[in-house]
Structure 1
Amino acid sequence: NSALGVAYKMRSLVLLLIGVAWVSAQDADCDGGKLPGLGMASARVDSHQIRLNTLEDQIEKLGARASDAAGSNVGQAARNLAARLNKLEGDGCGPRHFQCGGDRKQCLSDVLVCDGSADCGNGADESDDVCKVRVPAGSSWEGDVFWSSCMTFTDQTLRLIITGNRRVNYFQPRVWINAVATFENEEDGKTVTRTFNTQGNYNFGKRRAVLFPPASAPLQVGIVCDFVTDDAADCSLTQLVSLDVCAKVRINKK
């Protein structure tokens, strides 16, 4: 919206600039033809020239603002793409570490990320983007589950609703979350729904949410989700006893 507003202002200023230029040209023609009011026409031309210069300065400033507004969207897209590439290529750090990034690679324990004290040389571990809670209370997520082992379901859908989260002062690198998980699939021509409550945490350093079902849940699988963007995560359904990965699902924010 800000970019559109800037573009609208730029268009208005350009139209005004054209109008002022036309008036100046008319006065200049009068000047060249030695018509009456020569001195007044010359003064008006000078006045219009000042206004033209002022308008040109305003247009340049608005153009810079439009570029900045567009650049912010491009920057977010670049960060999301970098996160996805980083997941595929690895970051050179251990499984429980955070990559600070920058020209000089630095690995940091994930329990030091978003703890209120900058430990990376570039301060990346306390940046707004890293310390953003990607599982806010009330958010809803959904995706299609593809089972590879453990259990077999067809055309199953997973829905997650984050019912609450909290962050304690004595251990800020984690956000403790509560959620409702619903698995839905077709069996013998009927829709079967399995719903249970889950609890777990969100790890800022790994951008990862881990949810565990209660002992009474119909499906004894943990849900591990790695967030590739603010609105999408790649999840694994892991059997609690064997820790085998049973299924994969990409969930998207609804």
Structure 2
Amino acid sequence: QTTTTSGQTTFSTTPVCSLVVPRIRDHIHRRTGRMWSTATIIIHLLLFVASAIAVHPFYKAAAGVGENAAPRENDTPAEARRLIANAAAIGLLEARLETLRGKLGKAAQVDLERNYRETESRLSRLEEPLCEKNQFECGYRSAECIYELFVCDGYKDCSNGYDEDETVCSIEPALAGITYTGTSHWTSCETRKDHQTNITILGYRIRKYSPSLIWLKALIESSYQAGGQEVQVTHTAIGHYKFATRQMVLLGEGPGSSSGAYCNFDKKDNKRAKCELVKISSLDHCATMLITLDESNDHLTILSDDLACTGSCADSLRHFSPPWKIL
């Protein structure tokens, strides 16, 4: 807020993410650093106490103090009590050290980078986009926009070349053979309890006339309880993955021809997406599903060589498993 000489008050605004995201990142780093420093101090204190007990005049090493320690015949009652207390204290310290080792091991497994990406994505959705619909922004808050179909076409349309960046043009979300799994939560259209749904990519194609899209064929599998019986539903779907929006659209075929799914991947995360299941005729929302890549799928190793093929290289990309045909 600024007050001018004429008495008028003006307001200046700053994008939410430009203020909040750096603070969140710094908070995560500071919190992690404090956690490791505190754990290190506690371990050193416990080791110091254990060393002090070990050199205490009433600690008799020759007496075999430990879990099976017992007072010697010539020990006074006071010395015997101290020996037993020392043994109990050492056992307690060892147990606490083991607990700390376990906590430190779990702390090392925390994916801070993923937490940061998720927070950044949530905050960016709260801000109003700088680019119009069907446009692609050339980097976060860059204010430079290009038409979304120019993304990953082999030509750098953004001044910084971001539209051809390997992270933007990654085909990982659409590789043939991979499977996404998640739980479908129905809110309308049909009455179903939450149930598991699998989406397997059967094949993909990038065509020369539309390199900004990956055309897909997928297999949809789900099972749910209805009338006391388990119902199995399996059908194919066709659709596409768009590089500019990181959105996968699937339209059901056969038994699933009345429904479609829109799956949106977060920025820089090719393993997780939020899907909205809709009725094709009216686009009414029916269910929500959070899907995660099934990394146990054996096909991922076979197809790993394709990951390096992006941008202009994608024009020659062809992989079908099994073969299929797009209109």
Task: Give the TM-score normalised by the residue count of structure 2.
Answer: 0.52
**In structure 2, what is the equivalent of residue 249 of structure 1?**
289
- TM-fit CA distance, 1:87: 3.5
Secondary structure of 1:169's counterpart equals coil
Aligned counterparts of 1:196 and 1:250: Cα–Cα separation in 2? 19
Q: Encode CA deviations 1:20-69: one digit per residue, 9 max, x unaligned.
A: xxxxxxxxxxxxxxxxxxxxxxxxxxxxxxxxxxxxxxxxxxxxxxxxxx
**In structure 1, what is the equivalent of residue 203 of structure 2?**
164
Q: 1:88 to 1:219 in 2, by over 3 A?
A: farther
**In structure 2, what is the equivalent of residue 52 of structure 1?**
none
Aligned counterparts of 2:277 and 2:140: Cα–Cα separation in 1? 33
**In structure 2, what is the equivalent of residue 122 of structure 1?**
160
The structure 2 residue matched to 1:205, chosen from 244, 247, 261, is 244
Tell me if 1:233 matches 2:273: yes
Q: Encode CA deviations 1:201-223: one digit per residue, 9 max, x unaligned.
A: 00000000000112x32461111
Secondary structure of 1:192's counterpart equals strand
Runs of 5+ in structure 1 lacking a partner? Answer: 1-72
Q: After TM superposition, list the pairs within 5 Å mapping 1:91-170 onto structure 2.
A: 91-102=129-140, 104-133=142-171, 134-170=173-209
Q: 1:81 to 1:132 in 2, by over 3 A?
A: farther
Secondary structure of 1:217's counterpart equals helix
**In structure 2, what is the equivalent of residue 65 of structure 1?**
none
Q: 1:167 to 1:200 in 2, by over 3 A?
A: same
Q: 1:198 to 1:129 in 2, by over 3 A?
A: same
Secondary structure of 2:123's counterpart equals helix
Aligned counterparts of 2:147 and 2:287: Cα–Cα separation in 1? 29
**In structure 1, what is the equivalent of residue 82 of structure 2?**
none
Runs of 5+ in structure 2 lacking a partner? Answer: 1-110, 295-327
Equivalent pairs counted in the alignment come to 182
- TM-fit CA distance, 1:76: 7.2
1:102–1:122 CA contact under 8 A, matched in 2: no
Tell me if 1:182 matches 2:221: yes
- TM-fit CA distance, 1:104: 3.3
Q: Which moved more, 1:171-180 or 1:75-84?
A: 75-84
Runs of 4 or more above 6 Å deviation = 73-77
Secondary structure of 2:209's counterpart equals helix
- TM-fit CA distance, 1:119: 0.9
**In structure 1, what is the equivalent of residue 260 of structure 2?**
222
Aligned counterparts of 1:102 and 1:155: Cα–Cα separation in 2? 36
Aligned counterparts of 1:185 and 1:103: Cα–Cα separation in 2? 44
1:155–1:186 CA contact under 8 A, matched in 2: no
* Amino acid in the other structure paired with 1:201: H
Q: Percent identity?
A: 31
- TM-fit CA distance, 1:97: 1.6
- TM-fit CA distance, 1:190: 2.5
- TM-fit CA distance, 1:78: 4.8
Q: Which moved more, 1:102-111 or 1:240-249?
A: 102-111
Cα RMSD of the aligned pairs, angstroms, is 2.2
Aligned counterparts of 1:146 and 1:118: Cα–Cα separation in 2? 41
- TM-fit CA distance, 1:75: 6.5
Secondary structure of 2:199's counterpart equals strand
Structure ranking higher in strand proportion: 1
2:138–2:146 CA contact under 8 A, matched in 1: yes
